Structure 1
Amino acid sequence: MDWQEISGNWVLVPARPVAIVHFLGGAFVATAPQLTYRRLLEYLATQGYAIVATPFVNTFEHAEIARSVLKSFDTALEVLQTRILKRYLPIYGMGHSMGCKLHLLIGSLFSVERSGNILLSYNNFSAKDAVPLVDQFSTVFPVEFTPSPLETHRLIGDRYQVRRNLLVKFSNDTIDQSASLANILEQRFPGMNSLRTLSGSHVTPLGQDMKWQAGKDFTPFDAIAQWMHQEVYRELAQLEKTILLWLNPFS
């Protein structure tokens, strides 16, 4: 399998795909998701999921970003369904950090068909908490994301359409807000949402499967490096297993 660019999206298609995963990354790593999230996305592709990863540049206009990435995805989807797959497949959204908010806005503001959404390390901070130096200008120029955190939660509570959701938070993630989102989703779709807490941190989904080659003489540095590699691999493997089991409970 090789990544290919289709209408501004990075696409990975296995031989016999069973579903499509539309992926949106975090705010500062979303411009090249096929690289920054390579390990996670390529693993899902090996398990039969076609990947459409849509890059985006972060701005304060989050609703506009959601509209733009959905338009880009829909264009790529038409190419996939008519020229490559030549059949309909169920679609799942998957986002990390800000990518979660974008999928939630897509599911609240636009008419879409999704079999479910996977939301990793969700957060919904205000601009002053998320962007350095904003506080210095907000007294002169009112600066906030649109929709604001409060407006975002109201939209989700009133209009979110995707009934089945997996929320994943990590044990060492100090900026995760999945618990508050889980409460909103549970009120909207009781019994249809799963919140899992896994070992790891906010950057666990970005982990790469890097091989460590020890030198001729095994040193304490080699031991530490191998231990760190094993920990990263263990956390990634746990995340991958959790996602795959939710996608297909009978796998």
Structure 2
Amino acid sequence: MDWQEISGNWVLVPDRPIAIVHFLGGAFVAAAPQLTYRRLLEYLASQGYAIVATPFVNTFDHIEIAKSVLQSFDRALEILQTRIIKKRYIPVYGMGHSMGCKLHLLIGSLFGVERAGNILISFNNFAARDAVPLVEQFSQVFSVEFTPSPLETNKMISDRYQVRRNLLVKFDNDSIDQTYTLSELLKKRFPDMVTFQILKGSHATPIGQDFKWQTGDSFSPFDAIGQWMRQEIYRELQGLETAIVRWLNPMGTR
């Protein structure tokens, strides 16, 4: 199972996939999601989920980005369904981290997409002056803000968001997370369809990368310490992986 590029997306397809996950990353790590989120996405693929990770470059026009990544995904989806997966229907889930959450929320509010659910990790919806260095200095002279603005985004979600089933994930050591606000918006819209989980970790937990500890000819105390450190570092990412798979497939069967 290897990554392949399809219509500008990075795609990973296991044998007999049970669903497709459309992944969008955070603003400054989204240009190469197959690398920056490699461990998380490859784990989901190992559990039977086809991954379509759409790269993007951040601009101030988030609506245009949402439109662009959706068009790119749709092109890849058509190829997957006709040439690779060859199923008449396979459920599609959106999954986003940080800014990727906002893009999936915009997609679910502005475009007529069919989604079995969305997984929204570490949502934030800051104004440009708070999110981008130096913007505050320019905004004193020029009007600089994301499109839509944070208030416009919240109203759009409240009035128009159509994806009913949602998993919201907040990490307990994440000072820029705004998932509580999002949770209130979505619970008003779909009271019984929103799952909110607080996990151990930080805003960077989803981009944790794996490494293999190579032991010597004999297993030494140093090797034991190295393996223990590896387990501790990735315990938080494992918690995220487990939460996502349990929500995707509560029965635990393929």
Name the TM-score, length of structure 1 as normaliser: 0.95
Compute the RMSD of aligned alpha carbons.
Answer: 1.5
Q: Which residue of 1 aligns with 2:140?
A: 139
Q: Within 2, Cα distance between the matches of 1:52 and 1:108?
A: 21
Q: Which residue of 1 aligns with 2:174?
A: 173
Secondary structure of the structure 2 residue equivalent to 1:171? strand
1:212 deviation in Å? Answer: 2.9
Secondary structure of the structure 1 residue equivalent to 2:202? coil
Alignment of 1:18-167 (within 5 A): 18-87=18-87, 88-167=89-168
Structure 1 unaligned blocks of 5 or more: none
Aligned residue pairs: how many? 249
* Letter of the structure 1 residue corresponding to residue 177 of structure 2: D
Q: Within 1, Cα distance between the matches of 2:65 and 2:200?
A: 31
Q: Within 2, Cα distance between the matches of 1:62 and 1:177?
A: 17
1:86 deviation in Å? Answer: 1.3
Q: Within 2, Cα distance between the matches of 1:238 and 1:32?
A: 23
Is 1:183–2:184 an aligned residue pair?
yes
8 Å CA contact retained: 1:204, 1:232: no
Q: Within 2, Cα distance between the matches of 1:99 and 1:231?
A: 27
Seen in structure 2, the aligned counterparts of structure 1 residues 158 and 7 have a Cα distance that, compared at 3 Å, is same
8 Å CA contact retained: 1:214, 1:222: no
* Letter of the structure 2 residue corresponding to residue 168 of structure 1: V
Extract structure 1 runs of 4+ deviating beyond 4 A: 214-219
1:214 deviation in Å? Answer: 6.1
Q: Within 1, Cα distance between the matches of 2:33 and 2:71?
A: 17
1:229 deviation in Å? Answer: 2.0
1:208 deviation in Å? Answer: 1.2
Q: Within 2, Cα distance between the matches of 1:227 and 1:176?
A: 29
1:47 deviation in Å? Answer: 0.7
Q: Within 2, Cα distance between the matches of 1:78 and 1:235?
A: 35
Secondary structure of the structure 2 residue equivalent to 1:119? strand
Secondary structure of the structure 2 residue equivalent to 1:31? coil
Q: Within 2, Cα distance between the matches of 1:231 and 1:195?
A: 24
Q: Which residue of 1 aligns with 2:4?
A: 4
Q: Within 1, Cα distance between the matches of 2:246 and 2:138?
A: 46
Name the TM-score, length of structure 2 as normaliser: 0.94
* Letter of the structure 1 residue corresponding to residue 154 of structure 2: H
Q: Within 1, Cα distance between the matches of 2:54 and 2:247?
A: 22
Q: Within 1, Cα distance between the matches of 2:179 and 2:232?
A: 23
Secondary structure of the structure 2 residue equivalent to 1:59? coil
How far does the alpha carbon of each residue in 1:192-232 deviate from its partner, in whole angstroms, 9 at most, with x for none?
A: 0011000111011101111234679756x984x54442222
Secondary structure of the structure 2 residue equivalent to 1:5? strand
Q: Within 2, Cα distance between the matches of 1:5 and 1:211?
A: 26
Structure 2 unaligned blocks of 5 or more: none
Q: Within 1, Cα distance between the matches of 2:138 and 2:208?
A: 35
* Letter of the structure 2 residue corresponding to residue 11 of structure 1: V
Alignment of 1:216-227 (within 5 A): 223=225, 226-227=227-228
How far does the alpha carbon of each residue in 1:25-55 deviate from its partner, in whole angstroms, 9 at most, with x for none?
A: 0001100000110111011111110000000
Q: Within 1, Cα distance between the matches of 2:11 and 2:147?
A: 29
* Letter of the structure 1 residue corresponding to residue 52 of structure 2: V
Q: Percent of aligned positions with the same letter in both sequences?
A: 73
* Letter of the structure 2 residue corresponding to residue 99 of structure 1: G
* Letter of the structure 1 residue corresponding to residue 27 of structure 2: A
